[in-house]
Structure 1
């Protein structure tokens, strides 16, 4: 029964109606313990399934709250949970699980509306809270109703941050207040099955309007026969009852006192298992059969102590479990948790549930525990690195340093920490093992993990010293010698102290050792040596061979990620966009599946390629995703530069100078001399009518001391530099730029570089024919910005001789610019042509409407059509070679521009717009 919550129930019913119509929402129900949060949510969404909704119910538990995603995974079906158990052995399993869960919700929402409930949010693990916040962003575009229930106090900082995030996204906060006296009276009447008398009502009102307290108080009075039925039909308090239980806890204790001793005995092991438990786990922990414990469970169900929760049982309220747990003497709790852990081990219980029992034992460890931890070190460190570190730390304190198990635990913890990116833990454990071990291959294994960790934190000299020390040991096996030599070659390159022979030496040793891991890493270094030698084709061959050699070995996932990122960039050099998309999608899929720290790099590389293809909306969406994954600016300034320079370049071409200035003003970006940023800095100078300052910015790339830094991409900005130099009469500057570009094209005559040479020579010589030949290359290879720029330059060059041809070429250029939304380029092209007497009939860019279908960009329109066809974001991402997050960004923009409130409304609008 639910009394006094009619308004809240009406609101929930309205939310369900909206959900069935395709409109999602996020709701947070807050209130003190016992105020009725869970009961309200249960009653409010009891009809959701009958309306065709999928209901997922998760209850956070204090005992397992430190296991990432455990809370939410328990809401899934066994089949769905199995897919999470198959997560990769390397990478960040937690981030991979987060992305996997988000994608799963996307897919479920494509099948039916989804109600996702998270009860006791205050106990949820951090990964589950992260997922909840991410889903809060998506409720405006999915038929997803998020319902969280939490106590307002005390509030963990992570929960407080989630609350701020959700309310900032428009979540509804429902604060449940105490029941007023009249509704308390109504609740009492329902509980006793008759109108209640004034004395009974007066005592019930002492419960402070808390429904659970009222229920426990009245149930206790009924059990003790303290409620009497009067002649007039009223239920009244017996005359000898003077006062109510002092607290809710006391009232709950009164309920438990009526359970039989055997049932209380059965519930003690259940208390150890947490708020929810399975019958199998209870039987294992109690040392009895399922049949033996069934009778006690039935009595507890009848007494209102337990409730059914799917295929599991749960304490009807967490306060009941807390009361039972408090009744166990503190001195016994640790031993009981240890016994429970061992019982679960004997029955092959879940690793995380065993670990939860060991954690609750608070450091007391039986003799079997260290060996068990050694056997499950990798799994635990992946799934719950903080718990793994704590448990293994306790175990290491109890094992003598000369015990082989001591070294095994430390080394496993170091390797597992390396695989999931926990650098601080990896370094600490690896150094301890290196200080003691006499096993050369053990030392090599630790050196690999330590050197990789040091490289990630850009401590190249320390990493090289570690490698050099270990490589001097003649006892290292050929396999580990090959791997460490490959690592050494990588470190020389990373530290900008190039030794091209090191990569070839490493590859030779790797092939002799016939070790795929060593060969893969060596080929990776060979590819980068080839790139530095201006042999991108050779670099691409080395990458492809490396990918073939390493296969899907989980211990080379990070290498595979790097190779796929580089393959994407190398293929793009040859303007093979089909293969670029395939490689880009493979890189994104692997990054999302493994939760790699390289997620930012993957999306940034994708953004760069999409920008070159002219798919600027997808590129901007990819940068929005990349920004979410940006690491610390001080540690990786290059990534910040790449992300924000791409954004600034696109914004500049679209004449959004405010955004350009904001992107260029970011601390890691401001003052940088990376080439992408130099181009981005030059653009607003020319836009502001200061071409001489734009040229001065671009002339920085002609500095001989920095020639190597700019050699790879000189062809991408030289035409802009040459154009400005010629227009300003700085012919020596233009000639210098052309000569440097010609030299680069001689070193590596890729088609793009050769086309850029033709273009620049045409600008310098005033020859439109050469520029038009370059334009044909860019038309054929679908590089729209370069095509538009070429056509614009050609139109200006031919204007004095053939205005008709110039006008046709200018119109062609403007059409290209308009397809990109390149407003500034249209303005510049018209202004340059007018100075030569060439004018289009309709000057200036056509402004795109702010709302409606015509406001959608080309990329958004493609996504909108697929949304209307009922596809989920992951399905759309796979079709368009994008990431799920990029598609989500597009859908948010589509909803805003169409004024739609759901994907259903997008489909309806699309149906009305399509011809019948």
Structure 2
């Protein structure tokens, strides 16, 4: 046994158990906590060795305190994405995302880019896990940057499904909130915690025996007891005694010879610093200065920073390594423990440390080092010299993307250092506004932009100000900024077209449709005059939205296709609408479901790559499509995925309401009416408020209050206009017409028939025609119209509404005494409801027909069981088969036109239904079933 693992036998055994479980497919996470020197890193060494022995891919790294403001620094180090070594295509793509390559052209803000990078890292981990078991080991996580913390959190969410062991070591001292939140989250999901306590006396004695090859005597045991059971401190004390020639071995026992040595180190830090006494002065100075610059030491860089010969610096570092202060990891030197580095750095005066950091920044900038490393060092100073200003002007784009929280303060310092009227000041102000927007601070970006515009009328500043106002939800002011920009002299037609186009979509959201129409047409006109494809695309995108608001879905689709053609591959991330999602939305409204499904799959991929601004919207549309075509379990998976991601446009209102609608129809909603939150006045609430009212109305009806249900739902139809106009919400009509009939409100039933027929006449689709037939059939008590409505809904691919058509026909046929036809129609309705597991709809239909003296003449189809293979939906069966084939979630997602998150949701559902806990168990179960 290694001296370093003495006294940690129980912990080592538990780690081995978890590693074996992960290697067998049952993933787990483990938190290792303890004070500095207590043995966390040593235990991680044991983890890494055991996982390697089991044939697992081991990826390991440590967070650094100097990199806490650098996104993905910790996880990038662990996964080898920052090393510069040769990588395969997938890994290289992820590494490029972390470097921020083309980020400003792909995302609107850091949060969106980081979402895309997070998804890419999770995809990579999924692929690695599909190829074989993986161990992810993170040391010093108390210094992990927030982006890395988020990745670790997300990995922990589905870890039980994967052959993944995630081990995170963290100091037991107080922690920043992101790390504290990570620990709480992992523990809530069952993560084990190993708190490394001080070694007991027997283990300390065993440790001394391992070091000295002899047990300690009474005096020596008393001295090492001062270490308080800290194994690193024990080792340093014994080493200090050895260096002082104070230990002798007599009769097989090691003990202190003669009197107790004077001035033994009183702490672990002091014991470490004692090692410096054995180094030459030059080596000691070199090491202290290296400590200021970070935990890793690049010999060539350090030589340049210190302006010392490479040979002399190398010799000093080798001497430090021989003294046990540095470790050679094959590429560079690393401090043996960060406690050592901290203690060494503190030996230098603060002014010297600052000067060294500034010097390092200048040297690294000249050498073309990564911008974030340069900025970290430059920020250590308080002043900015002309060289730093020049560097900032040339490297701002890269720095803003890679580390906006370094860029903002550095740009502010640079602005304070230059003449306010100098051209450099104008450029710095522009970069500052962009940095603030990228960092997700539109309020401060607006303030900075307005200040810059006092002396500079650059259209680029107006464009950024417009973005800042828009991102605060102040669309009126965004339109005002666009109008001010359009009055600028010498504004190129293409630039004017972009401002018109942006304003057009803002005006659409403000429901100022006439002004939006004019702005959109001007955008196309100005864009075509200047051959500016962005302006043309924005104009057509605005026209598409406006035709959509008119209910002209064919026109909206045609304009959107023109927008996509104009944008080509140049779809900018600052669009206020996603043309890919809009294509899917239009096709959905035109009953072209197969094409809509394909278009929305493209929209998912696009939003994952650009950071998910419209990702929740895309999942909401996919959920709605699956609700209409009867794939309700798949709809719920899309809802769960949409709620789990970023939602800047308030899609949660519609997602939760749709989930409630499904639960109510399945008889599985057991909460109070007030559990459904009010939609609110935001864009999401205004657009999807009808779904909330629909769910509330059905809940009232399910509790035998049809009058109240009608009073809740009918005003939604009566007052529909703008973003929730009737062309969008006509799905409620089948329920609304039934309610009006049940409560005897013939006027409303007739009005509903009239308005739905007018809607269908304006732009006929099969579902609109079916809706009009159903409403008229109920208003006129016409069973033949109702049967025709059911047939039309079948052609449109709306099984729920088809069932409602048959249910209503059965009711009217029964009243007319046509019992055989009524029973047949009832049977068809119940078949459709059974396929959806719409238990409440089925119960309601049977109850209505019983009142008319009609009972089901035969048993309906057997309900799908809740557990076992027979419980799986068609989609879940396909996912299960591909999981059993060893396919990763990203591979399955690509094959099935889903998102990786949605696949993960399906896998969780499959495992729950089969009472399994991992993908490996699923593969075994599948093979046994096939056998």
TM-score between both structures, scaled by the size of structure 1: 0.94
Of 754, 774, 784, the residue aligned with 1:769 is 784
Q: Which residue of 2 aligns with 1:520?
A: 537
Q: Which residue of 1 aligns with 2:443?
A: 424
Q: How does 1:86-105 map to 2 (within 5 A)?
A: 86=101, 88-89=103-104, 90-91=107-108, 92-105=112-125
Of 518, 528, 541, the residue aligned with 1:501 is 518
Counterparts of 1:768 and 1:297 in 2: how far apart (Å)? 93
Q: Which residue of 1 aligns with 2:592?
A: 576
Q: Which residue of 2 aligns with 1:647?
A: 659
Q: How does 1:125-136 map to 2 (within 5 A)?
A: 125-136=145-156
Of 549, 563, 566, the residue aligned with 1:546 is 563
Q: Describe the shift of the 1:586–1:804 C-alpha distance in structure 2 as closer, same or farther (beyond 3 A).
A: same
Q: Residue 880 of structure 1: CA displacement?
A: 2.2
Counterparts of 2:96 and 2:674 in 1: how far apart (Å)? 42
Q: Residue 455 of structure 1: CA displacement?
A: 2.0
Q: Describe the shift of the 1:662–1:552 C-alpha distance in structure 2 as closer, same or farther (beyond 3 A).
A: farther
Of 877, 885, 888, the residue aligned with 1:861 is 877
Q: Describe the shift of the 1:419–1:479 C-alpha distance in structure 2 as closer, same or farther (beyond 3 A).
A: farther
Q: Which residue of 2 aligns with 1:479?
A: 494
Q: Residue 208 of structure 1: CA displacement?
A: 0.6
Q: Residue 803 of structure 1: CA displacement?
A: 3.5
Of 423, 433, 446, the residue aligned with 1:414 is 433
Counterparts of 1:12 and 1:694 in 2: how far apart (Å)? 58
Q: Which residue of 2 aligns with 1:369?
A: 388
Q: Which residue of 1 aligns with 2:34?
A: 31
Worse-superposed segment, 260-269 or 538-547: 260-269
Of 427, 433, 455, the residue aligned with 2:452 is 433
Q: Which residue of 1 aligns with 2:807?
A: 792
**1:608 is aligned to 2:624:** yes
> Residue 507 of structure 1 contacts residue 523 of structure 1 at CA under 8 Å; is this kept in 2?
yes
Of 703, 706, 730, the residue aligned with 1:715 is 730
CA-to-aligned-CA distance 1:126-172 (integer Å, 9 cap, x gap): 11111111111111111111111111112222222222111111110
Of 528, 534, 554, the residue aligned with 1:537 is 554
Q: Report SS of the residue matched to 1:774.
A: helix
Q: Residue 610 of structure 1: CA displacement?
A: 2.5
Of 814, 823, 827, the residue aligned with 2:839 is 823
Counterparts of 1:471 and 1:5 in 2: how far apart (Å)? 71
Q: How does 1:357-396 map to 2 (within 5 A)?
A: 357-359=377-379, 361-396=380-415
Counterparts of 1:107 and 1:844 in 2: how far apart (Å)? 44
Q: How does 1:145-544 map to 2 (within 5 A)?
A: 145-230=165-250, 232=252, 234-237=254-257, 239=259, 241-287=261-307, 293-309=313-329, 311-359=331-379, 361-418=380-437, 421-438=440-457, 442=458, 444-498=459-513, 499=515, 500-544=517-561
Q: Describe the shift of the 1:570–1:312 C-alpha distance in structure 2 as closer, same or farther (beyond 3 A).
A: farther
Q: Residue 236 of structure 1: CA displacement?
A: 3.4
CA-to-aligned-CA distance 1:29-88 (integer Å, 9 cap, x gap): 100110000101111331212322111112010011110111110122342253433463
> Residue 510 of structure 1 contacts residue 519 of structure 1 at CA under 8 Å; is this kept in 2?
yes
Structure 2: state its 5+ residue gaps. Answer: none
CA-to-aligned-CA distance 1:80-114 (integer Å, 9 cap, x gap): 25343346323322222222212211111111111
Counterparts of 1:363 and 1:590 in 2: how far apart (Å)? 42
> Residue 372 of structure 2 contacts residue 406 of structure 2 at CA under 8 Å; is this kept in 1?
no
Q: Which residue of 1 aligns with 2:66?
A: 63
Q: Describe the shift of the 1:849–1:169 C-alpha distance in structure 2 as closer, same or farther (beyond 3 A).
A: same
Q: Describe the shift of the 1:300–1:323 C-alpha distance in structure 2 as closer, same or farther (beyond 3 A).
A: same
Q: Describe the shift of the 1:292–1:593 C-alpha distance in structure 2 as closer, same or farther (beyond 3 A).
A: farther
Q: Describe the shift of the 1:364–1:378 C-alpha distance in structure 2 as closer, same or farther (beyond 3 A).
A: same
Worse-superposed segment, 72-81 or 569-578: 72-81
Counterparts of 2:407 and 2:877 in 1: how far apart (Å)? 47
Of 712, 716, 721, the residue aligned with 1:697 is 712
Counterparts of 1:609 and 1:420 in 2: how far apart (Å)? 35
Q: Describe the shift of the 1:7–1:479 C-alpha distance in structure 2 as closer, same or farther (beyond 3 A).
A: same
Q: Residue 457 of structure 1: CA displacement?
A: 2.0
> Residue 27 of structure 2 contacts residue 160 of structure 2 at CA under 8 Å; is this kept in 1?
yes
Q: Describe the shift of the 1:781–1:660 C-alpha distance in structure 2 as closer, same or farther (beyond 3 A).
A: farther
Counterparts of 1:275 and 1:532 in 2: how far apart (Å)? 59
**1:832 is aligned to 2:839:** no
Q: Which residue of 1 aligns with 2:797?
A: 782
Counterparts of 2:567 and 2:333 in 1: how far apart (Å)? 46
> Residue 588 of structure 1 contacts residue 602 of structure 1 at CA under 8 Å; is this kept in 2?
yes
**1:82 is aligned to 2:99:** no
Counterparts of 2:24 and 2:447 in 1: how far apart (Å)? 54
Counterparts of 2:96 and 2:223 in 1: how far apart (Å)? 53
Q: Describe the shift of the 1:899–1:605 C-alpha distance in structure 2 as closer, same or farther (beyond 3 A).
A: same
> Residue 613 of structure 2 contacts residue 646 of structure 2 at CA under 8 Å; is this kept in 1?
no
**1:687 is aligned to 2:702:** yes
Q: Report SS of the residue matched to 1:174.
A: strand
Q: Residue 408 of structure 1: CA displacement?
A: 0.6
> Residue 269 of structure 1 contacts residue 285 of structure 1 at CA under 8 Å; is this kept in 2?
no
Q: How many matched pairs?
A: 905
Counterparts of 1:534 and 1:505 in 2: how far apart (Å)? 22
Counterparts of 1:332 and 1:414 in 2: how far apart (Å)? 33
Counterparts of 1:290 and 1:779 in 2: how far apart (Å)? 80
Q: Residue 260 of structure 1: CA displacement?
A: 3.0
Q: Report SS of the residue matched to 2:78.
A: coil
Q: Which residue of 2 aligns with 1:123?
A: 143
Q: Describe the shift of the 1:420–1:842 C-alpha distance in structure 2 as closer, same or farther (beyond 3 A).
A: farther
> Residue 98 of structure 1 contacts residue 131 of structure 1 at CA under 8 Å; is this kept in 2?
yes
> Residue 580 of structure 2 contacts residue 603 of structure 2 at CA under 8 Å; is this kept in 1?
yes
**1:10 is aligned to 2:13:** yes
Q: Residue 653 of structure 1: CA displacement?
A: 1.1
Q: How does 1:730-745 map to 2 (within 5 A)?
A: 730-745=745-760
Q: Which residue of 2 aligns with 1:657?
A: 669
Q: Describe the shift of the 1:418–1:229 C-alpha distance in structure 2 as closer, same or farther (beyond 3 A).
A: same
**1:598 is aligned to 2:598:** no
CA-to-aligned-CA distance 1:528-565 (integer Å, 9 cap, x gap): 122233321121111122122212337x1243961112
**1:48 is aligned to 2:65:** no
Q: Describe the shift of the 1:738–1:497 C-alpha distance in structure 2 as closer, same or farther (beyond 3 A).
A: same
> Residue 433 of structure 2 contacts residue 446 of structure 2 at CA under 8 Å; is this kept in 1?
yes
Q: Describe the shift of the 1:28–1:737 C-alpha distance in structure 2 as closer, same or farther (beyond 3 A).
A: same
Q: Describe the shift of the 1:854–1:278 C-alpha distance in structure 2 as closer, same or farther (beyond 3 A).
A: farther
Counterparts of 1:506 and 1:57 in 2: how far apart (Å)? 52
> Residue 493 of structure 2 contacts residue 530 of structure 2 at CA under 8 Å; is this kept in 1?
yes
Q: Residue 416 of structure 1: CA displacement?
A: 4.5
Q: Residue 501 of structure 1: CA displacement?
A: 2.2
Counterparts of 2:312 and 2:807 in 1: how far apart (Å)? 86
